[in-house]
Chains A and B, each alone.
Chain A
């Protein structure tokens, strides 16, 4: 008896882990109804879902109208998605001259195309840098006009999605290197550099973005000499960059602290100088560690660009709100806001998706 039991154990060791098949009922029993409390929670949740989901589906998809007039919408009981096709050009482009909408459209397609192309790390090379510079210049010319026979468009007419994308794109890509420099500065052995970086980071983090935007709009012009004005968009852009950089700096500092002393010493003992040591050894490791929190900050910076509305810039959220001010479309705000939410979600979700992919690729 004892002997056969021992044999069983020996045999069992040679086996693979057992595959357990569970039926749907069994699964529900172990996961949803294992105990009184869980059973109650399951029933309540199911009831709530029953109450919420079918009416929403009916409102959004079954009874909804997609390409109707506002009057037809008012007669129906479902969602009036028609507000979006009817106002799409104003929501996306704001006050940009109607007949020139193709220009910001092309600029946006170029930006998205370049971003998609750059997603693949195999494409990273010096020539990609030149492509970016050329691309950004072209986008700028398309937006501004005044060259190559394109009619000039003043920047106070810029708005909508191109403005949102521009503020966030430059916000992120300028704030990131600035943040890394600030983080390095904060860990510097030079007291002056260190103090300046700490002061900068703590001051910026101590005020809300809205107050920085106000300062950029109201306060800075006071310091400029008479006659010199800096474009409002650029001032808002600067405020966003300065704000985001301070947060990036603290995240990167956390990454720098995670790198062991041994890595610094190994780099130094090879004779690498400070710049080489940081660029080749420390930063590649530190920045990789902090990809998740960094992307978190970039995502929130992207969403925070909607705050520029307080200094009367028409980003995509503000143009949507203005479209709703049209009396004939009044009252359909849920549909319009859901649409803008979808735009924000698509952008943020692709960022977080990309960060996950990057982490996986860089994991060695």
Chain B
């Protein structure tokens, strides 16, 4: 796991996400203004930027929680269009972790995890529950399997949410500010799980302001502002000598 990626040497088969000149408007607001981004298999990208810069919207477009109006998104060789079957197929392969966890409160932790595999992947119940327990152990929370989400702390809930996505055996994981709704003492336990995942070679796109995480895990760091990718670099260059004035300003504000 080296940070150096040489894009030119990679074949087109290594590309798992291709975004080409993406535009999106909320009413009159131009939230994504010509985004182009290619993500390779096993690559880890951290996106940061001020609030309202479109970073969450961008990753939500990748699994079509938001619809784009112009441009093209290819995920694992399938183009995202209005075609419902394609959308469901892509969502099977793309896991998503939300800021507010979004666990299903009426189901136990185990049921939360087994639900996707059972209904979407048509895995037998017993096998799905075994997989669920495997991932719960991985996020160090197996003893809570019979509880309901409301009985868990925020950090535990977010780890369950990560495990829930992993149960679908996704090819890509999207993280939408996974630690910003957590109490400070719980941030580390969630980041540790994400670092483990990174070490296993998962393709990850993370919207986050956890700069320590970005430095140690990301292959590339993207800075977005006003719906555009302003700067894109390896973490070393990005944090040590940012090129763009807006990046410098932003970094000075969040790093104090």
How many B residues touch A, CB cutoff 8 Å?
A: 26
Asked whether B98 lies within 8 Å of A265 as measured between CB atoms, the reply is yes
Which residues of chain B from 145 to 164 have a CB within 8 Å of any chain A CB?
148, 150, 164
Binds A, one of B28-36, B100-108, B128-136: B100-108
Per-residue CB contact flags for chain B residues 166-205 toward chain A (1 = under 8 Å, else 0) read: 0010000000000000000000000000000000000000
Interface residues on A, range: 20 to 34
Determine the residue in chain B with the shortest Cβ distance to A269: B96
Determine the residue in chain B with the shortest Cβ distance to A276: B119
Contact of B116 among A270, A362, A364 (CB under 8 A): A270
B92 at the interface (CB under 8 A from A): yes
Determine the residue in chain A with the shortest Cβ distance to B103: A266
Task: State A260–B99 Cα separation when bound (angstroms).
Answer: 14
Asked whether B98 lies within 8 Å of A266 as measured between CB atoms, the reply is yes
Per-residue CB contact flags for chain A residues 264-282 toward chain B (1 = under 8 Å, else 0) read: 0111111111001000110
Determine the residue in chain B with the shortest Cβ distance to A274: B84
Asked whether B115 lies within 8 Å of A270 as measured between CB atoms, the reply is yes
Given known A-B contacts A262-B102, A271-B88, A364 and B120 have beta carbons under 8 A apart: no
Residues of B within 8 A of A267 (CB): 104
Asked whether A269 lies within 8 Å of B104 as measured between CB atoms, the reply is no
Given known A-B contacts A271-B168, A272-B116, A266 and B102 have beta carbons under 8 A apart: yes
Determine the residue in chain A with the shortest Cβ distance to B84: A273
Determine the residue in chain A with the shortest Cβ distance to B64: A268
Asked whether B63 lies within 8 Å of A272 as measured between CB atoms, the reply is no
Per-residue CB contact flags for chain B residues 86-128 toward chain A (1 = under 8 Å, else 0) read: 0011011011101010111110000000011001100000000
Given known A-B contacts A268-B65, A364-B150, A288 and B106 have beta carbons under 8 A apart: yes
- Nearest-Cβ distance from residue A44 to partner chain B, whole angstroms: 48
Task: State A267–B107 Cα separation when bound (angstroms).
Answer: 13
Asked whether A273 lies within 8 Å of B102 as measured between CB atoms, the reply is no
Given known A-B contacts A262-B98, A280-B115, A271 and B105 have beta carbons under 8 A apart: no
Determine the residue in chain B with the shortest Cβ distance to A263: B102
Known: A269-B96, A270-B165, A271-B91. 16 other contacts (CB 8 A): A260-B102, A265-B102, A266-B104, A267-B104, A268-B91, A269-B91, A269-B95, A269-B165, A270-B91, A270-B115, A270-B116, A271-B88, A271-B89, A272-B116, A281-B104, A362-B106
Task: Give A contacts to B, CB under 8 Å.
Answer: 260, 262-263, 265-273, 276, 280-281, 284-285, 288, 362, 364
